[in-house]
Every structure is written in C-alpha cells, then in structure tokens.
A and B are shown apart, each in its own frame.
Chain A
Amino acid sequence: MTITQRLLAGVMICLIGSPVMAEKLLLRANDLSFGGAESLDPLSPNRFYEVNDLIYSRLVRQDDAGQPSPELATSWTSNADATEWTLTLQTGVTFHDGSAFDAADVAYSLGRIEDPALESPVSAVLGFIDRVEVVDPLTVKIVLEAPHAGLPILLLDYRVRMIPDGAGPTIQENPIGTGPFKVESFDAEGTTRLVVNETYWEGRPLLDAIQFTAIPDSEARNQAMLAGQLDLNTITRDQMALYADNPAFQVQSFPSGGWFGIVFRTDTPPFDNPAVRRALRIAVDRQAMMTLMVGETGGTVGCDTPVRVDDPFRAMRDCPQDIEGAKALLAEAGYPDGIDIELVTSDVEPGMVRFAEVYQAQVAPAGIRVSLKVAPADGYWDDVWMTAPASVTSWGERPADQILNEAWRTGSSWNESYYANSVYDQTLDQARATLDPAAAKSLYVEAQEILFQDGGTFIPYQEDGRQVLSARVRGIAPVGEDHVRWHLVDLAE
C-alpha cells in the first residue's frame, strides 16, 4: 500500500465509521532465477512456475498419497496394452477470458510439448505421446508411441498445464488459464500481481490477490521475510534457525524427492567394474552422513534409489555400512591395498562441497582414498557434470518412472553415469506396460534393486523440502509448491 492509499483508507474508516474490508493480499517473492526472462508459457524452459501454478490448471493433481486425482480431467482409462488413454474432462470450466475449456484445448496443450521451436524440457518426459485426438468436447484420447501405464502420473508434471487452443504464440502477453488466479500485471523484474478468478470452477478462492516481488538475493529474501514483507519463502536447513521458536512464523518441512549424489561413470575405469562401484557405495554409513548433512530428521535414508520417499513405487531396503564387504569387493577387483579416486564437486548448490567431504571421511576406513577437487560453480553442469569420471550431482523431485528413465536408461540425454544395462531398460519397459499397480510396483522396485546392486550412482538420502510461512497464513499444508490447493489458502484477520 502506498502512503496515499493508507491515508485514504484511514479517512474512509473515519468517515464510514465501520471497518473497511481489507484486501486479502498474499505477499511472495520471485527469486529471479531466470534473470527477468521468466516466461508465462508453462512449457518454456524459463517457465515462471510459481505464477504458472496459480493461473493454469493441470489435468490431474496429487492426492495426499501423491497419486493422480481429478483436476481438469475427471477420469481416465486406458486400453489393455496401455497405448491409448481416454480422459473425460470436467464440465463447466471456463478460461479467464470467459471461453469454455474443452477437449480441443487439451489436444493443443499436450500437442505443443513436442514443438521443436519451444525446446521444452517436458519433451524429455512426455515425448512418447504420439497424438491427442478429440473424441467429443469433453473427451480426449491420448495415443502413445509405446505402452505407458504411468501416463497419469507423468501428467502430474508441474509444467503440463492447459492453455486455450492456439494460444501458444500469445500466451506470454495474454496469459489465460483456468486457475484460481489471473494475471493483473506481470513484470518479472519488478512486481507481478495476480487477482482472484471470481469464476474459478472449484469456487471463489479465499484470497483476493497474490503479489510477487523480485528479490534475487537469498539473504535479502530472508530479511524481507523476517521484517514481515513476505508471507511465504523457501528456506534451506541452515536458515531454519532464523525462524525457530518465533510465533510470527510457521516453519514447515516435508518429504521431497530432492537429492545429492555421487556419480561414478560406469563407462570409465575403474568404475566400469561393478565390484568397484558397489564397494564405493556400500562403505558409507548413510544415516550418519544424512545426520551430518541435514540433521537426524532432515531427510530419509535410502539405498541409492532416486525415487521420492512418498512415491508408491519406491524400493524399501536396508543398506548398513559394510566396510569389510567393500574391502573384499575391492580386493576381488584387483585393489587389495585400497583404491585412489578423484571426486569433483563444487559450490553450485549449498552443501555440495560438504557432501563430498563427508563422503571422503566415511569411506576412508575401507581403504578408499578420495582426493577432492573443487571446481568453479560457474559452468559446473557444462564442464564437469557428465564429463568427470566421478562428480557430485543434484536432482529435484520427479515421479519414479521419470527419474529412473531420465537418469539411467541407455542413451538418455541426462544419463549422467553412462549406465547401459539392457535388463534394466527391459524392466522399465515392462513396468510401463503393466497396468496393475502392484505388479508395476514390483517391476519398479526390481529396477531400483538393479541400481543398488550394479549402478554407478551413490544416493545416501533424500532431503526434506522446507518453507516458512508468516503466522497469518492459513491453508498451506506442509507439501511441495505444486501440491498446494491455492483456492483454499487464506489469511487470518
């Protein structure tokens, strides 16, 4: 509120003698991670996802168990071999400009994923969609190039959002969606203001407006949060102490699929020997490593599985530290006196250097002598990642099928460990063709077991996500950004 507005409000209160209904405005920050090139095209590599999440809707959304539940699609069925999916759409949904949402919009929104001009990263996730057919205004048929029983799960992707038929080229200037809020003004480097969509199909949202202020500096975002200028901010573990025991804030942590790992290139000696890379992974006390990195309860220990903790397809197993086993494996591989390896890390994300240092200390008793090389953060993903024989990596959360394919399938563009195992690939193919969830689960678990026995990627734990809310915010459960039901979020008086 400007000073004039404040004065006016004051005068109005005096004149009318009754409290003026204050606008319920939720204050958020834009960290400018795309440097002002933030795009309102949900499929753009520069997608401004915090805003897109509020103005566009998906076909499905996560239920409390992380499974697809209806959003713009009310039901979905596939043919027997999971190559064709038929989706029934919600009735009575309108875009922000008043036009009706129907099957043509779905066909268009999904069809443009593979538009080469967009260079959308989503094409790596849903590129197997062959075509989308409009059956009738409220029914679409998605035809796949190969069977995929997990299509609805992949449609949960935070970038797969519905825009009007043909709106792609103008979506940046005219961002029309079916979401609970609509864009009033957009300026990524200044202030972006969203106002309530009065005709939102699930009922009028409780907030009146949401405002994003550009605050690129992470310390400045914390200062703003502490000074009461923001209602919501994502924080790191180290920053939690700033807000702890302060009644003005609510600190939330929740399982997420984010992880740090160490990639040993399976095509490069000595890591091309499965015994060596297994030894490098089993020599670690994972619980101790997690405690040192993120605290005893700051995450969930896992056995080299990249699958998020609350994903139904996650493999559950134990993998205690096994120094003797590691020594034996190394001896068997021809390193009876231990092994020297070089591990490259960088400050590209906070904690990545510490992660490598903890690993170095943990594996030393097994005769694994790690020399650390800290590369510049700038250009790390370009110069080091997928180039160095052993390097630290970092991934955000993805559904099981997506991450298992993206990072380990033979020839995949982000197969950072250069893993090539036809049995693994076939297991995933089979899982994709399996419609029965229990049977699919056992196949995905089998794939993760292959990675634990044979893979080149060490994943000790998955870190929790964290956010801080001001005390007045209501209705944001401790879940990730795209799980929040924004039309139910409110501010206390």
Chain B
Amino acid sequence: MFALILGRLGAAWITLLVIAVVVFVGVELMPGDACTALLGRDAVRVEVLENCRDRMGLNRSPVERFFAWAGDLAQGDLGVSMKRERPIVDIVGPRLRNTLILAVAAALAGVPLAIGLGVMVALRRERPFDIIVSTTALVAMTMPEFVVASLLILIFAIWLGWSAGVVTAAYDAPALTLLFATPLPAVTLALVYVAHILRMVRSSVIDTAGADFILMARMKGVPERRIVRRHLLPNAILPTIPVIGLTLAWLLSGVVIVESAFNYPGIGRLAVNAVADRDLPLVQAITLIFGLIYVSMTLIADLLAMALNPRLRTRRL
C-alpha cells in the first residue's frame, strides 16, 4: 500500500516536470515574447525592445532560462512576473484563494444535488421525471460554458435583475464578498459536472438494482424502502465517489472560461491574461498549480477507490 502511494507520488513529480517542459516549449514556440506583447508597435524601436529584453532576462538562451527557472523552483521560488514585476506568489496567492472559493461553492452545491437527483431519476426510471431530468442533463453536458454563462447573465442579471451580471469585486476582496458574488459562476461551473455525476449515479443505481443480492432481499420480504437505503444505495454510490473526484479535477479546465466570462478574479482569468502577455514565469506557475491540483485529485480519487474496494488493495489474487 505505502509502496504504491510512493510510486504514485514519484509518477506525479515526473508528470509535473513534463508539464513544465511542455508549457515552456509551447510558450517559446508562440510568435512574440513578453516584450513584443508589452510594447506592441514600439517593438520597432530596436533599442527600446533590447532594453526591455535585458530587463526581463529574455536575452539569455531558452535552455539557460529554463534551468534558471527550474533551479529557483526547486528552492520553492516561483520567480517574478515579467510584466507585473512582482513576485508570482503575491499575484497567484489571492487569486488561487478566489478560485478555491468558487470551486468549493460549486462542489458543495453541485455534488449533493447531482447524487440526489441521480438516485431519484434511477428509482423512477423511464418515467416522465427521469426523462425530463436526464434530457436536461444531456443538454447541460453538451452546452459549452461560455454559452451557459451568457444565458445565465441574460436571464438572471439582464431580464430578471436578481443578480449582478459580472463580478466587480477585486481580487483581494474579503472571502465573504466573493462568496456572495459566486452564484452565477458557480452554477455555470457546476452545470456540466452535475450532469456528468447525475448520469453516472443513475446508471450505477440501475445496475445495482438488477443485482442478485437485491433480488434476494426482495425475496426475503425486506420492505422496499429498506432495500433502497440499506442495500441498494451504499453499493451503488460508493463506487462512484472516486469518479466524482476525477470529475471535480476535470472541472478545473472550466474555470478558465467561466472566470473570464464572469470577470471572476481567480487564477483562470489570470491564466488567460498571462498567456496574452507572454508572461512565461506566470504561465508556468499557473500551469504547475493546475497540474498539481489535477495530479493530487487523481491520487486522492485512486486512494479512495482502493479504500472503498478491498479487491484493489492487494497485488495478490
């Protein structure tokens, strides 16, 4: 068990290293650099461009820069943003907090809802309620986040006026202020994965309902309500928990779009701006944080799966 966890941790580090190299090469391959992005047409003035590149350390070779960056990182230093000329920790820190507020709000509201709805529709399989909810879920799954975002703003902010359209709170606003600003972004973010989890729970419950032990319980005369609570649900939902973990990790990709659409001051919006600015150290830091979150969510999901399913715990058998 411990050897396995250690092995997975080792693999995680290698994954992160590969991510760092790929992102570095990717940003290097894009036309332009932080200075041409910053200067625009002024980049034509050669001496201004050269001064800028000197200041940002862009005159060194890419390999040299990568190892300098990796060396700093090994000492826990994420470096300094090229464009913002401030330590990256100070820039990323508050925004990471904001993204976590949004993600946790979306998860807390969405996961229980998804599981509950999934069970309800499974128990009313093929009836109008199931058909309506399952179809809605399918539609929600296929709609891109930016469409959902625009629709929600149109309905709840512009037509009904119940909510603010985009978030105007600053990145360093108190956590509570940001929490109050999250309803629409959180719903947008949650919609896609609620549909995913709902469909997964539904099919798991339906599968389990056909299992022999349920039939056995029924034959023994166990009341239907007790069958559902005691036998069906624990067996149907436990296996979906690790998958829910993976779905939440995958949800991170939605953060980039949702935060831009709602102007939410999180790490996703920062990522978009950092790429546009060619702010390489900042892009690197954000990607690594995303990678780290994804890798650790996957790891937790795997460990949960093992904890919940004894058959996975041993290599024998």
Number of A-B residue pairs, CB cutoff 8 Å, is 120
Q: B177 in the interface, Cβ–Cβ < 8 Å?
A: yes
Instruction: Answer yes or no: A142 CB below 8 A from chain B CBs.
Output: no
By beta carbon, the residue of chain A nearest B94 is A190
Contact assessment for B261 and A37 in the assembled complex, using a CB-CB cutoff below 8 Å: no
Interface residue B67 (Cβ < 8 Å from any Cβ of A): no
**B41, B177, B262: which contacts A220 (Cβ < 8 A)?**
B262
Chain A 366-392 interface residues, beta-carbon cutoff 8 Å to B? 376, 378-383, 385-386
A229 touches B165 (CB 8 A): yes
Complex Cα gap A28–B230 (Å): 58
- The answer to whether B172 and A229 have CB atoms under 8 Å apart is no
Shortest Cβ distance from B48 into A: residue? A119
**Cβ B166 vs Cβ A385 within 8 A:** no
Q: Give min CB distance, B32 to chain A, whole Å.
A: 3
A35: chain B residues at CB < 8 Å are 38, 83-84, 273, 276-277, 279
**B113: CB under 8 A from chain A?**
no
Q: Which residue in chain B gives the minimum CB-CB distance to A3?
A: B180
CA distance A132 to B84 in the complex (A): 34
Minimal Cβ-Cβ distance residue in B for A387 = B44
Across the interface, do A190 and B265 meet the contact criterion of CB distance under 8 Å?
yes
Q: Is A45 a contact of B261 with CB atoms below 8 Å?
A: no
Complex interface: chain A residues within 8 A of B279 (CB)? 35
Residue of B39, B44, B177, B180 ringed by the most chain A CB atoms within 10 A: B44
Contact mask for chain A residues 115-155; partner B; CB cutoff 8 A; 1 contact, 0 none: 00001010000000000000000000000000000000000
Shortest Cβ gap from B162 to chain A (Å): 11
The answer to whether A383 touches B273, judged by C-beta atoms less than 8 angstroms apart, is no
Cα distance, A217 to B146, chains bound together (Å): 12
In the assembled complex, the CB of A414 is this many whole angstroms from the nearest CB of chain B, namely 6
Q: Contacts A3-B180, A119-B48: A227 and B158 contacting too (C-beta < 8 A)? A: yes
**Closest B residue to A248 using CB positions:** B158
Is there a chain A Cβ closer than 8 Å to B85's Cβ? yes
Taking a contact as CB atoms under 8 Å apart, the answer to whether B166 and A383 are in contact is no
B157-197 CB contacts (< 8 Å) to partner A: 157-158, 161, 164-166, 168, 170-173, 177, 180
Tell me the smallest distance from the CB of B172 to a CB of chain A, in Å.
6
Report A-chain residues with C-beta under 8 Å of the C-beta of B260.
Answer: 216-217, 220
Give residues 226-279 of B contacting A (CB, 8 Å): 260-263, 265, 269, 272-273, 276-279
Asked if B41 and A37 make an inter-chain contact with CB atoms under 8 angstroms apart, the answer reads: no
Asked if B263 and A220 sit within 8 Å, CB to CB, the answer is yes
Q: Which residues in chain A, 196-231, are within 8 Å of chain B measured between CB atoms?
A: 213-217, 219-220, 223-224, 226-229
Residues of A within 8 A of B70 (CB): none
A68 lies within 8 A of chain B by Cβ: no
Residues of A within 8 A of B42 (CB): 45, 121
B41 CB, min distance to chain A CBs, angstroms = 5
Instruction: Tell me which residues from 67 to 111 in chain B have a Cβ below 8 Å from any Cβ of chain A.
Output: 83-85
Q: Within 8 Å of chain A (Cβ to Cβ): is B119?
A: no
Does B170 lie within 8 Å of A190, measured CB to CB? yes
State the CA gap A378–B161 with chains docked (Å). Answer: 39
Which residues on B sit within 8 Å (CB–CB) of A214?
Answer: 170, 263, 265
Q: Are A224 and B263 in contact (CB under 8 A)?
A: yes
A226 to chain B: closest CB distance in Å? 5
Q: Which residue of A lies closest to B47 (CB)?
A: A119
User: Which residues does chain A contribute within 8 Å of B303, judged by CB atoms?
Assistant: none
* Residue A191 interfacial (CB < 8 Å): yes
Bound-state CA distance A221–B208 (Å) is 49
B30 CB–A CB distance under 8 Å: yes
Contact B165 A383 (CB under 8 A): no
A191:B83 contact, CB within 8 angstroms? no
Assess whether B36 is interfacial by the CB under 8 Å rule: yes
The smallest C-beta distance from A324 to any residue of chain B, in angstroms, reads 37
- Whole-angstrom distance from the CB of A378 to the nearest CB of chain B? 5
By a CB distance below 8 angstroms, the chain B residues around A119 are 48, 51
**Does A189 contact B158, Cβ atoms closer than 8 Å?**
no
A77 within 8 A of B: no
- The residue that A45 contacts in the complex, of B31, B39, B168, B269, with Cβ under 8 A, is B39
Interface residue? A413 (CB, 8 A): yes
- A414 touching B30 in the complex, CB below 8 Å, given contacts A35-B276, A217-B261: no
Contact B158 A226 (CB under 8 A): yes
The answer to whether B44 and A223 touch across the interface, beta carbons within 8 angstroms, is no
CB of B153 within 8 Å of the partner chain: yes
Partner of B172, one of A3, A190, A228, A381: A190
Say whether B40 contacts A381, CB under 8 Å.
Answer: yes
Taking each of B146, B168, B171, B172, which has the highest tally of chain A beta carbons within 10 Å of its own beta carbon?
A: B168
A274 within 8 Å of B (CB atoms): no
User: B45, B48, B164: which contacts A227 (Cβ < 8 A)?
Assistant: B164
Chain A positions within 8 Å of B173 at CB level: 190
Cβ B166 vs Cβ A229 within 8 A: yes
Contact of A422 with B by CB under 8 A: no
CB <8 Å contact, B41 and A385: yes
Are A227 and B157 in contact (CB-based, < 8 A)? Answer: yes
Assess the B31–A223 pair: CB atoms within 8 A.
Answer: no
Which residues of chain B are within 8 angstroms of A37 by Cβ–Cβ distance?
38, 83-85
Q: Report the nearest A residue to B173, measured CB to CB.
A: A190
Q: Is the CB of B168 within 8 A of A229?
A: yes
B311 CB to closest chain A CB (Å) equals 48
Assess the B263–A217 pair: CB atoms within 8 A.
yes
How far is it, in angstroms, between the C-alpha of A216 and the C-alpha of B260 when the chains are bound?
Answer: 8
Cβ-defined contact, B83 with A189, below 8 A: no
**Chain B contacts for A229, CB-based, 8 A:** 164-166, 168
Report Cα–Cα, A216/B32, bound state, in Å: 20
How close is B161's CB to chain A, nearest CB, in angstroms?
A: 8
Q: How far is the CB of A281 from chain B (nearest CB, A)?
A: 23
Interface assignment of B141: CB less than 8 Å from any CB of chain A: no
Q: Which of B12-46 contact A (CB under 8 A)?
A: 30-32, 36-45
A378 and B30 contacting across the interface, CB-CB below 8 Å = yes
In the complex, which residues of chain A have a beta carbon less than 8 angstroms from the beta carbon of B161? Answer: 228
List the B residue with the shortest CB-CB distance to A46: B38
Does A2 make an interface contact (CB < 8 A)?
yes
Q: Which of A213, A220, A226, A383 contacts B32 (CB 8 A)?
A: A383
Q: A3-B180, A37-B84 are in contact. Are A383 and B31 (CB under 8 A)?
A: yes
Chain A residues proximal to chain B, CB less than 8 Å: 2-3, 32, 34-37, 45-46, 119, 121, 187, 189-191, 213-217, 219-220, 223-224, 226-229, 376, 378-383, 385-386, 413-414
B residues with CB within 8 A of A? 30-32, 36-45, 48, 51, 83-85, 146, 150, 153, 157-158, 161, 164-166, 168, 170-173, 177, 180, 260-263, 265, 269, 272-273, 276-279
Q: Can you list 29 contacts pairing A with B, beta carbon distance less than 8 Å?
A: A35-B38, A36-B84, A37-B84, A45-B42, A187-B172, A190-B173, A190-B265, A213-B168, A216-B263, A216-B269, A217-B261, A217-B272, A219-B150, A219-B261, A220-B166, A220-B263, A223-B153, A224-B166, A224-B263, A379-B32, A379-B36, A381-B36, A381-B41, A381-B43, A382-B31, A382-B43, A382-B44, A385-B44, A414-B44
The 3 closest A-B CB pairs, nearest first, are A227-B165, A190-B170, A379-B32
